[in-house]
Structure 1
Amino acid sequence: MTNAAPAARPGLISDPARAQRRILHVLVASQIFSGAGLAAGVTVGALLAQDMLGSTSLAGLPSALFTAGSALAAVAVGRVSQARGRRPGLAAGYLTGAIGSAGVIVAAVLDNPVLLFLALFVYGAGTATNLQARYAGADLAAPGHRARAVSTVLVATTLGGVAGPNLAAPTGTLAEHLGIPNLAGPFILSGLAYALAALVLALWLRPDPLLLARSLAQAKQDGTATAPASSDEGSGGVVLGALVMILTQLVMVAIMTMTPVHMHDHGHGTAASGLVIAIHIGAMYLPSPLTGWLVDRYGRMKIAAASGITLLAAGILAALAPGDSVGLLALALALLGLGWNLGLVSGTAIITDTVPLATRAKTQGLVDVSIAIAGATGGMASGIMVAATSYPALALTGGILSLALLPAVAAAAYRR
């Protein structure tokens, strides 16, 4: 394969550590942009749909749609990465997200809900790509440092992820000056951010981490004439890693999606909800270096169990927090983000440990499809449940559901 040739250059193979440092720097830069693109849409997507449709029951639909779109994109990005490397797969995913952002703006101008939902589906490609980038950080990492490599990529999302929601009000004002509805303003930022992330990766993600990792593995195999050792966890590791990330995604998306709507119903504006979502996204990514160290130091299983307990605490606090208390809701959403982070880093490490390089990108893409479907389910069901019951009922149900991680982790530890 012609595009694999750069990864096989002797100079790069002799110094993979230098290549890994360069790759992490490029991934960090792209994640800063993509974090802004991801967060901006999350902040106002539900409010935009509610404003167009005049119904709270469908306010979870935008989250469900762009999460469902991310499921399709996860397959596509995984397959392109498997065939041609991480660089073309990730760059194409972010460019698709930018196109979806532009579609949302057009839909808002035309006041067309059908176009809005279609555009949000396409916009979901940015979410999938943002998550897939974490695997690129681990391709060249040593087994004992994989979680820390994943966390380095994730923490970079914090800068853009925190800035994005706090720019909801200013970008809304800018949109009004341009003749665009206020709530579509953050998608201007989102489209620009995703396009810049795609550009950074297309130009500078060289050598390609997955192609170089394959070349290194092949060179090692040729030198030793020994077949690579297979993982002792087998398919059980894939199932466990996927389950950890699926449950944390389901609970996180469900509660996060309806929090801005819950706050809006209690008289808070986009600035207050943007602040809470910014804190939430900061908690999703900022603890990543510590989480990565904990996962590498104390093991994947213990941190996966800790994620379930943290999500339970988040659900209970969100359920008990008064609707007019921005502080308590922010704390609940911070715990929600932390629980998600613990689950994502530990689950990603389990998957990467288990899957061989020959099928790694394809399997990772399929796992992320399951995660995206879980997020879509949580986003869609959240609006329906809040309309039928209440936000506190949703939060408490999500917290209790997260406890299912504990017996799964205990069973896996017992088998080992």
Structure 2
Amino acid sequence: MTAGNGTPDLRERPEQRRILSVLVLSQVLSGAGLAAGITVGALLAEEMLGSTGLAGVPSALFTAGSALGAFGIGRLCRRWGRRPGLALGYAAGALGSLGVVAAAAVDSAPLLFLGLLVYGAGTSTNLMARYAGADLASPARRGRAVSTVLFATTLGAVAGPNLVTLTGKLAHSWGIPRLAGPFLLAVAAFGAAAVVLAALLRPDPLRLAEALARTEALARTESPGGTDARTVGAPRRPLDRTQRRAVAGGTTVMVLTQLVMIAVMTMTPVHMQAHGHGTQAAGLVIALHVGAMFLPSPLTGLLVDRIGPRWVAGAAGPVLLASGGLAAVAPPTSVPALATALVLLGLGWNFGLVSGTAMVTGTLPPDRRAAAQGLVDVGIAIAGATGGMSSGLVVAVSGFPVLALAGGVLALAVVPVVVWSARRPPRTDSAAPASPRTETEHA
């Protein structure tokens, strides 16, 4: 089946529907594992290390692990496909979660750090799965394909923080510190997601997308006036300046929103506990925040497809500024005010991630996507590690309101970035003529 412009129409492919169904199931499972680190990671480190200034270390470690995981998973996907890459990533997340539980049981800080580093691979896999949802999506539905995968994370990610008390009781009954309980859930959640992907993600979406692109290229060479057949299989053409700007702009939007989100989110439970709130209240606020990270995804994806990813990316900055401003002035005893600020924080991050992913994926050809997307997510993870590590120090020196407001102001930088990425560089006489068919048309 082809669209009116001769481009294959992948919207109705049964493979795409099956792939999205499998990804949805794995994301529901893995979402519960994702919630462990952001809900109690900082509290567990504060309890084991006895220092608020070091409470941001867990976030920094598992986001650093996420960077390593994103690089490795991207390479695995490029070489072997999405299925083995994503399944191995979730298996690593399960192993790391088990290491955190063991570290809490024996009160070992080095083992805790190592476990959190490996746990980060699971969190990076959870985000990288969104690319698998977009591999076979047509340009007109790419935003919705990405958002479907992200939305599926909502159930597990929202349920996880609300199970802090229950999993804490289970851990305590086994002689393990209560704060390690959510990581017990992460072991099961990431492990189940790995099994689902390894068994059911067939056909491999990236491999199929590459095969379809090759078939379309070959068909063009055989048509009257088509490309010379000798060019099929030739070295890949470098991206032009417009394409490079789109990739750089989308990446920068995701990096900035990740840095701000991780920094503020990491220290919110610590800030609440310092003002008399219990872990249940902190868990509720984080659950609402995580819900806002993923629940609006269908609407965000629709907006990306209808009005364009750059408009949605530009909106992320003002939303995050509103979040930071509210968090800075909110009374620390007011759970509703803090929850509202964290909901806006999640919404701004969602705008940035969905739109940035669409900008990057829509520019890259299938045979370049996995490795490039892995590098993009390395940058995202490094930004998260930077935000997590610096957040504790900023709060220790200047307080939570300063951290929140500074993050909001920094997020406004996405607006000029989006404007820059949308500008088309001037043509020069020596510039190579643009291809009559862009990658967006046949991705």
CA contact 1:43–1:277 (8 Å) conserved in 2:
yes
Instruction: Report the structure number with the largest CA radius of gyration.
Output: 2
Letter in structure 2 aligned against 1:358: D
* TM-score calculated relative to the size of structure 1: 0.95
CA contact 2:56–2:391 (8 Å) conserved in 1:
yes
Unpaired runs of 5+ residues, structure 1, are 1-12
Unpaired runs of 5+ residues, structure 2, are 1-8, 222-226, 426-443
Q: CA RMSD in A?
A: 1.5
Q: Which residue of 2 aligns with 1:10?
A: none
* Deviation digits for residues 266-300 of structure 1 (CA, Å, limit 9, x no counterpart): 11111100100000000000000000000110011
Offset, 1:231: 7.1
Distance in 1, matches of 2:283 and 2:358, equals: 31
- 2:293 is the alignment partner of 1:284: yes
Letter in structure 1 aligned against 2:255: I
Question: Which residue of the other structure, out of 244, 248, 267, is the alignment partner of 2:276?
Answer: 267
The aligned runs of 1:98-109 (5 Å cut-off) are: 98-109=94-105
**Mean Cα deviation higher: 223-232 or 348-357:** 223-232
Offset, 1:15: 9.7
Letter in structure 2 aligned against 1:182: R
Q: Which residue of 2 aligns with 1:74?
A: 70
Distance in 2, matches of 1:15 and 1:257, equals: 39
* Deviation digits for residues 52-88 of structure 1 (CA, Å, limit 9, x no counterpart): 1110000000000000000000011000000110000
Q: Counterpart of 2:423 in 1: which secondary structure?
A: helix
Letter in structure 1 aligned against 2:78: Q
Question: Which runs of at least 4 in structure 1 moved beyond 6 Å after TM superposition?
Answer: 13-16, 227-232
Distance in 2, matches of 1:14 and 1:319, equals: 46
Offset, 1:330: 0.5
* TM-score calculated relative to the size of structure 2: 0.89
Q: Counterpart of 1:369 in 2: which secondary structure?
A: helix
Q: Which residue of 1 aligns with 2:335?
A: 326
Letter in structure 2 aligned against 1:177: S
The aligned runs of 1:8-407 (5 Å cut-off) are: 17-225=13-221, 226=227, 233-407=242-416
Distance in 2, matches of 1:214 and 1:414, equals: 30
Offset, 1:42: 1.3
Offset, 1:41: 2.1
**Mean Cα deviation higher: 224-233 or 168-177:** 224-233
CA contact 2:11–2:137 (8 Å) conserved in 1:
no
Offset, 1:218: 1.1
Offset, 1:238: 1.2
* Count of residues paired in the alignment: 404
Letter in structure 2 aligned against 1:60: G
CA contact 1:26–1:200 (8 Å) conserved in 2:
yes
* Deviation digits for residues 120-166 of structure 1 (CA, Å, limit 9, x no counterpart): 00000011100100000000000111111000000000000000000
Distance in 2, matches of 1:30 and 1:326, equals: 32
Letter in structure 2 aligned against 1:367: V
CA contact 1:303–1:343 (8 Å) conserved in 2:
yes
Distance in 1, matches of 2:10 and 2:74, equals: 28
Letter in structure 2 aligned against 1:328: A
Q: Which residue of 1 aligns with 2:429?
A: none
Offset, 1:232: 7.3
Q: Counterpart of 2:44 in 1: which secondary structure?
A: helix
Offset, 1:236: 1.1
Distance in 2, matches of 1:315 and 1:42, equals: 18
CA contact 1:231–1:353 (8 Å) conserved in 2:
no
Offset, 1:14: 9.9
Distance in 2, matches of 1:55 and 1:376, equals: 18
**Mean Cα deviation higher: 76-85 or 221-230:** 221-230
Q: Counterpart of 2:13 in 1: which secondary structure?
A: helix
* Deviation digits for residues 186-228 of structure 1 (CA, Å, limit 9, x no counterpart): 1000110000000000000000000011111111111221479
CA contact 1:231–1:354 (8 Å) conserved in 2:
no
Distance in 1, matches of 2:371 and 2:274, equals: 43
Letter in structure 1 aligned against 2:386: T
Percent identity (aligned): 63
Distance in 2, matches of 1:188 and 1:323, equals: 30
CA contact 2:161–2:283 (8 Å) conserved in 1:
yes
**Mean Cα deviation higher: 13-22 or 100-109:** 13-22
Q: Counterpart of 1:217 in 2: which secondary structure?
A: helix
CA contact 2:293–2:347 (8 Å) conserved in 1:
yes
Distance in 2, matches of 1:233 and 1:412, equals: 8
Q: 1 or 2, which has the higher helix percentage?
A: 1
